[in-house]
Amino acid sequence: MSLLIRNGDIVTATTRFTADILCENGVITAIDRDLPVPPGAEVIDATGKVVFPGFIDPHVHIYLPFMGTYAKDDWASGSKAALMGGTTTLIEMCCPSRAEDPLEAIRLWKSKAAGLASCDYTFHAGITKFDDTTAAAMTAIVKEEAISSFKVFLAYKGAFGIDDTELYRTLVTVKELGAVLTAHCENAELVAETQKKLVAEGKTGPEWHEPSRPISVEAEGCHHLMTFAGMTGTEVYVVHTSCRPAVEAIVEARARGVKAGIETVAPYLTLDSSYAEKPEFEGAKWVMSPPIRSKEQQEFLWQCLADGTIDTVATDHAPFDFATQKHMGHPEADKAVDASFEPTGKPANFTLIPNGIPSVEERVKLLYTHGVATGRIDLHAFVRLASTRAAEIFGLYPRKGEVALGSDADLVIWDPAWRGIISAATHSMATDYSAWEGWPVEGRPELVTVRGKVMVRDGTWCGDTGWGTFLERRPKD
């Protein structure tokens, strides 16, 4: 069925105008004033509302075996939560272990989404080792699996992390394939040694997570990647940058000609390091890597969003329950707050807390509330950061991230007058807590479409599980 959105205030990354939008067969077929209503079309009046292109989260984890457990969401709950927050496309990080073949891994990750995803989706293919078979696997990922971006970790030594030889060979292969390399930038050795020292000193609570991987370690990781990217000429994209020195290392490399995208995530913009310092182990709720930093880092990041230095705002959505999974790192693990928790009997510490914050549902509302509503960013920057730049960097534009003829009819009708409260009691994510419990938000997605199908109406879920489709992405010209 056709869909006609009437009289919306349409805002993209570069333009703003009032018009009607006609959606047919999954795409936008007309944009104009006073469009005629096709026979049988549903008509939605968007007067007084803002119409955005569907939002894109370029960094999520849905299926994630990690630190001895699995992320709580599956693609049914994770994609529903994304859509409830206005996000119509997810790019998931495929994170195989070093023992897994990357091609087999991407096929496994794809299978987890097929038939369950309600929003559209694609992947970054994880490279966690580089041996004699890896280049061929990467070639097949691009040419057969239609995925044109990869992911490496300069962290998690002994798990996902790669060494410098593997990094160099991965970058060379990515360059040859015309793809993009995304990277988690820290220094795995410095983190590992610092964590050993802190634990040996009896510093075992979640408040020691940030000191174990400080700003200097993240900045060093960014500088390290930039050196390799400059030597190989590979396009790179640094995920979840949390602080000024990390951003500055990338900006300096850009000035030398390195093509490097910069991402930050919603937790860094709204939360600060004091949350991980909360007593009685509650701080574990806010343990992620790189860690949440001090408030002074927040303001710098907001400035970089406004001036275009930072390209995207993602989430690094990694959902783990507090009551059981986060308690895997409790110094006295038998004191879990949930009776279903089964302690291992081994001494625990903050290094065993599964890293991550459930956030895919709240990203856009937080960015609007703390960015647009406060005057830190304007609506065009909001769209650029939450949608358009991700589409451009990862080969989805103009199919996604735009309101234009021929673009997919992924649209968000936004109600700026709505007011609400974030709570785990009402969110769609599968986790037992919210990192922003009780926080007020301004504005919400009132109606959300994916390829012309209404998935959220009046802020309430009405979508079909499995409506989402895999997005093929080919190397850039």
- Rounded distance between C-alpha atoms, residue 336 and residue 353, angstroms: 13
CB within 8 Å of 109: residues ≥ 6 apart: 63, 92, 94, 123
Residue 343 has pLDDT above 60, yes or no: no
- Rounded distance between C-alpha atoms, residue 186 and residue 209, angstroms: 14
Residue 26 forms part of a structural domain: no
In the block, which residue shows the tokens 């880092």?
A: 297
Mean pLDDT score, 117-136: 98
Here the tokens at position 269 are: 């913009």
Work out the percent of the chain whose per-residue pLDDT is above 90.
94
Residue 21 forms part of a structural domain: no
- 353-382: buried (b, 16+ CB within 10 Å) or exposed (e) per residue? bbbbbbbbbbbbbbbbbbbbeeebbebebb
Residue 34 forms part of a structural domain: no
β-bridge partners, 19 = 8
Here the tokens at position 424 are: 């785990």
Residue 452 forms part of a structural domain: no
Give the closest residue to 333 by CA, choosing from 68, 65, 72, 156.
68
The Cβ of residue 425 has, within 10 Å, a number of other Cβ atoms equal to 8
pLDDT digits (tens, 9 = 90+) for 396-438: 999 999 999 999 999 999 999 999 999 999 999 999 999 999 9
Could you tell me if 407 and 398 are in contact, meaning their C-beta atoms sit under 8 angstroms apart? Answer: yes
Q: Is the dihedral of CA 439, 443, 449, 451 positive or negative?
A: negative
Mean pLDDT score, 345-357: 86
pLDDT digits (tens, 9 = 90+) for 154-185: 999 888 999 999 999 999 999 999 999 999 99
pLDDT at 350: 95
Residue 337 has pLDDT above 80, yes or no: no
* Strand order, beta sheet including 180-185: 55-60, 87-94, 120-126, 149-154, 180-185, 236-238, 260-265, 312-314
pLDDT at 332: 75
Mean pLDDT score, 314-328: 95
- Rounded distance between C-alpha atoms, residue 45 and residue 30, angstroms: 16
Within its chain, how far is the Cα of 370 from the centroid? 18
Residue 477 has pLDDT above 80, yes or no: no
Q: How many domains does the chain have?
A: 1
Which pTM does this prediction carry?
A: 0.97
Residue 102 forms part of a structural domain: yes
Residue 184 forms part of a structural domain: yes
Instruction: Report the 3 state secondary structure along 117-174.
Output: CCCEEEEEEECCCCCCCHHHHHHHHHHCCCCCEEEEEECCCCCCECCHHHHHHHHHHH
Give the closest residue to 316 by CA, choosing from 184, 203, 448, 434.
184
Residue 344 has pLDDT above 60, yes or no: no
Q: Which domain holds residue 160?
A: 54-372
Which residue spans within 315-427 are E strands per DSSP?
411-421
Asked if the bond preceding 290 is cis, omega within 30° of 0, the reply is yes
Residue 432 forms part of a structural domain: no
Here the tokens at position 87 are: 């996000």
pLDDT digits (tens, 9 = 90+) for 32-87: 999 999 999 999 999 999 999 999 999 999 999 988 899 999 999 999 999 999 99
- Rounded distance between C-alpha atoms, residue 340 and residue 217, angstroms: 37
The CATH code of the domain that includes 77 is: 3.20.20.140
Least confident segment among 207-216, 285-294, 337-346, 391-400: 337-346
Q: Is the dihedral of CA 263, 310, 379, 369 positive or negative?
A: positive
Residue 134 forms part of a structural domain: yes
Compute and round to an integer the Cα radius of gyration of the chain: 22
- Rounded distance between C-alpha atoms, residue 394 and residue 374, angstroms: 30
Mean pLDDT score, 260-280: 97
Mean pLDDT score, 245-274: 98
